Amino acid sequence: MKFTWCLAVLATLLVASNATDPLENIWAVLIAGSNGWYNYRHQSDVSHAYHLLLQHGVLPEKIIVLMYDDIANNPQNPYMGKIYNQPNGTDVYEGVKIDYRGRDVNAETFLNVLKGNATGNSGKGTGRVLKSTREEHVFVYYSDHGGVDVLGMPTGLMSKHDLDQTLNYMYERDMYNKFLFYLEACESGSMFEGLPKIMRIYAITAARHNESSYATYCDNTMHLPCLGDEFSVTWMHDTEIHDILKESVGTQVDDIVKNTKLSHVCQFGDNTIRKDTVSEYQGKESLRKPEVNEEENNKFHSEVVQQAINSRDVQLVMAEKAMRRLGASPEVVSDQMSKYLLKRELLTEFVRRAVHEVTRNSPLSKLVMTKIPQSITQTSCHDKVIKAFDKLCVPFDRNPYAFKLSAPLANLCELTRDPEAIINFFKKECPNGPIFENVL
Q: CA 163, 164, 169 angle in degrees (round to 5)?
A: 95
Phi, psi angle pair for 202, to nearest 5°: -115, 115
Answer yes or no: 186 catalytic: yes
The mean pLDDT value for 182-191 works out to 98
**Options 48, 161, 186, 430, the catalytic residue:** 186
Cβ atoms within 10 Å, residue 334: 13
Domain spanning 13-309, CATH class: alpha beta
Catalytic residue among 42, 145, 209, 237: 145
Enumerate the β-bridge partners of residue 266: 205
User: What gap in Å lies between CA 133 and CA 175, rounded to an integer?
Assistant: 5
pLDDT at 270 over 90: yes
Lowest-pLDDT choice from 251-260, 287-296, 317-326: 287-296
Mean pLDDT confidence for 157-186: 98
Percentage of the chain with pLDDT > 90? 81
Contact 97, 60 (CB under 8 A): yes
- CA–CA gap between residue 73 and residue 300 (Å, rounded): 29
d(CA 48, CA 90): 10
**Residue 290: predicted pLDDT:** 74
Cα 157 to chain centroid, rounded: 11
| pLDDT tens for each residue of 425-437 | 999 999 998 887 7
So what's the pLDDT on residue 32? 98
Residue 325's pLDDT is 84
Confidence at residue 21, expressed as pLDDT on a 0 to 100 scale: 55
What's residue 12's pLDDT? 40
**Three-state SS annotation for the chain:** CHHHHHHHHHHHHHHHHHHCCCCCCEEEEEEECCCCHHHHHHHHHHHHHHHHHHHCCCCHHHEEEECCCCCCCCCCCCCCCCCECCCCCCECCCCCCCCECHHHCCHHHHHHHHHCCCCCCCCCCCCCCCCCCCCCEEEEEEECCEECCEEECCCCEEEHHHHHHHHHHHHHCCCCCCEEEEEECCCHHHHHCCCCHHHCEEEEECCCCCCCCEEECCCCCCCCCCCEEHHHHHHHHHHHHCCCCCCEHHHHHHHHHHHCCCCCCEEEECHHHHHCECHHHHCCCCCCCCCCCHHHHHHHHHHHHHCCEEHHHHHHHHHHHHHHHCCCCHHHHHHHHHHHHHHHHHHHHHHHHHHHHHHCCCCCHHHHHHCCCCCCCCHHHHHHHHHHHHHHHCCHHHCHHHHHHHHHHHHHHHHHCCHHHHHHHHHHHCCCCCCCCCCC
Question: What pLDDT score was predicted for residue 9?
Answer: 40
Phi first, then psi, for residue 126 (nearest 5°) are -80, -15
pLDDT digits (tens, 9 = 90+) for 325-380: 889 888 988 998 998 899 999 999 999 999 999 998 888 999 999 999 988 999 99
Mean pLDDT, residues 87-106:
97
Residue range 328-429 in CATH 3.40.50.300: no
What number of CA atoms fall less than 13 Å from residue 200's CA on the CB side? 17
CA dihedral sign, ordered 346, 348, 350, 353: negative
Measure the CA angle with vertex 146, ends 271 and 397; round to 5°.
Answer: 145
Instruction: Give the span between the Cα atoms of 311 and 320, in whole angstroms.
Output: 15
> Can you give the residue ranges of every domain in the chain?
13-309, 328-429
| 393 in Cβ contact with 347 (< 8 Å) | no
What integer is the mean pLDDT of 232-253? 97
Neighbours of 428 (CB within 10 A): 11
pLDDT of residue 23: 52
Residue 3's pLDDT is 40
Rg of the chain over Cα atoms, rounded to whole angstroms, equals: 23
Q: pTM of this prediction?
A: 0.93
Q: Give 14-23 contacts, CB < 8 A, sequence gap 24+.
A: 19/133, 19/135, 19/136, 20/135, 22/135, 22/136, 22/137, 22/177, 22/178, 22/280, 23/279, 23/280, 23/284
Model confidence over 44-91: pLDDT tens digits?
Answer: 999 999 999 999 999 999 999 999 999 999 999 999 999 999 999 999
Kind of pairing, strands 137-143 and 26-32?
A: parallel
Work out whether strand 309-310 and strand 266-269 pair parallel, antiparallel, or are unpaired: unpaired
Pick from 21-30, 77-86, 136-145, 318-327: least confident: 21-30
Q: Which pLDDT band holds residue 318 (cuts at 50, 70, 90)?
A: confident
pLDDT score of 75: 97
Render pLDDT for 385-426 as a digit per residue (tens, 0 to 9).
999 999 999 999 888 899 999 999 999 999 999 999 999 999
Mean pLDDT for 31-41 is 96
How many other C-beta atoms lie within 10 A of the C-beta of residue 317? 19
The pLDDT of residue 440 = 64
Q: How does the average pLDDT of the chain come out, rounded?
A: 92
Same CATH topology for 13-309 and 328-429?
no
pLDDT range class, residue 289, cuts 50, 70, 90? confident
pLDDT at 413: 97
Buried b (16+ CB within 10 A) or exposed e, 101-139: bbebbbbbbbbbbbbbbeeebeebbebbbbebbebbbbb
